[in-house]
Amino acid sequence: MTTWDEATRDLDAPLAVLDLDALEVNAADLERRASGTPIRLASKSVRVREIVDRVLARPGWRGVMSYALAEALWLVEHGHDDVFVAYPDLGRAALARLAADETALHRITLAIDSLEHVAALADRVPGGTPLRVAVDVDASLRLGPVHLGVRRSPVRTPAQAAAVARAAQRAGFAVVGMMAYDAQIAGVPDSSRAVRLVKACSDASLRRRRSRVRAALEDVVGTLAFVNGGGTGSLEITGADAALTELAAGSGLIGPTLFDGYDAFTPRPALAFALPVVRRPAADIVTVFSGGYIASGPAGDSRVPSVHAPEGLRMLGAEGAGEVQTPLRGPAAASLRLGDRVWFRHAKAGELAERFDRYHLVRGGELVGEVPTYRGEGRCFG
């Protein structure tokens, strides 16, 4: 924190800092954990075009995993040639732009996850539009009635995947890929022996099913261009599955607080934000400007920004992280003056970019520049 504070001493807070040294250490660690399997960069965890470009210039990274078709079209306009939109997008305006752009049609792949989804896409583009599509397969663990994992695709079995592929072919689409994101492995910290056991069980089950689903798809459409799986929290586990041709990661570059509790890796905090002290309601309380940057997901303490420095400050239970001010209590409050900064880390990697229009870049303890976020470039994709 002292380094970031000193490097940005002439800048007004609120501000956000991206530490390039930490970013590069984290990227190298992700590459190590992937053991040679290419990593597709999850753009939602970055939302800074220049950083996306910087990471993809490294060996071991290939292509973008986008979260919206409008974003994918924008990235293609800026030279990206392999963008997989890994979440369903039925926006008519974006689909019309894609259908009318021959270059984008060759460079963008859309996720599909059901017969209903295929029909909706076919209804929104001119007949015969050669959309590139990839089948999103449910990767959750089922133990009787218990569902462990996120609620994504309804496609789970080889037969269901093959049916979706055949429907896509009838619509004139080219089925080129498959995705199976194991959120219950990649997105859950190793907090207990029970969690580790569930992860191991899930991995074993998914490996058997993933290979059968891939085989069923390739019986219908031929060899797939890519089979994607995994995330920051599971690269070394999921990457050992021979059915995969690539992995996905993004959050591990940034090291947000939700990734502090894993056994296999410890990312360096690469992104933080500073808020100025603006009042002192009591001897042991200071109030900072703004701060209500709550992350998505289930409401709770894990989604609230964490005080990084100075140590010994905590939010008030009755107020939490505020819309325009955030009171903090603790022994460190006595040492802070009005105008001093308190540094925070966000719970998620990419969402902070929706709060700041630029990140200030620090390397070797020195301020070396700034880059616009998507917001800073006037873009918001949801």
pLDDT score, position 313: 96
Query: Token match 């000193």: residue?
Result: 6
pLDDT score, position 309: 92
pLDDT score, position 264: 81
Average pLDDT, the chain: 93
216 residue type, one letter: A
**Would you state the structure tokens that stand for residue 289, as one six-digit string?**
């400007």
pLDDT score, position 148: 65
- Residue 1's pLDDT band, with cuts at 50, 70 and 90, is low
Average pLDDT estimate for 71-86: 98
Higher pLDDT pick, 207 / 63: 63
pLDDT score, position 163: 98
Q: Is the pLDDT of residue 27 over 80?
A: yes
- Residue 103's pLDDT band, with cuts at 50, 70 and 90, is very high
Q: Is the pLDDT of residue 128 over 70?
A: yes
Average pLDDT estimate for 53-57: 98
What b-and-e string marks burial along 312-328, b requiring 16 or more CB atoms within 10 Å of the CB?
Answer: ebebeeeeebbeebbbb
Average pLDDT estimate for 301-306: 91
Q: In this structure, are residues 84 and 40 in contact, taking their beta carbons and an 8 Å threshold?
A: yes
Q: Phi, psi (5° rounding) for residue 246?
A: -160, 160
Domains and their CATH numbers in the chain: 2-14+267-374 (2.40.37.20), 67-249 (3.20.20.10)
- Residue 363's pLDDT band, with cuts at 50, 70 and 90, is very high
Q: Select from 358, 356, 232 the least CA-distant residue to 293.
A: 356
Q: In this structure, are residues 220 and 204 in contact, taking their beta carbons and an 8 Å threshold?
A: no
Q: In this structure, are residues 114 and 139 in contact, taking their beta carbons and an 8 Å threshold?
A: no
Which of these ranges, 73-87, 136-150, 303-317, has the smallest mean pLDDT? 136-150
* pLDDT digit string, tens, across residues 215-270: 999 999 999 999 999 888 888 888 888 899 999 999 999 999 988 988 888 899 99
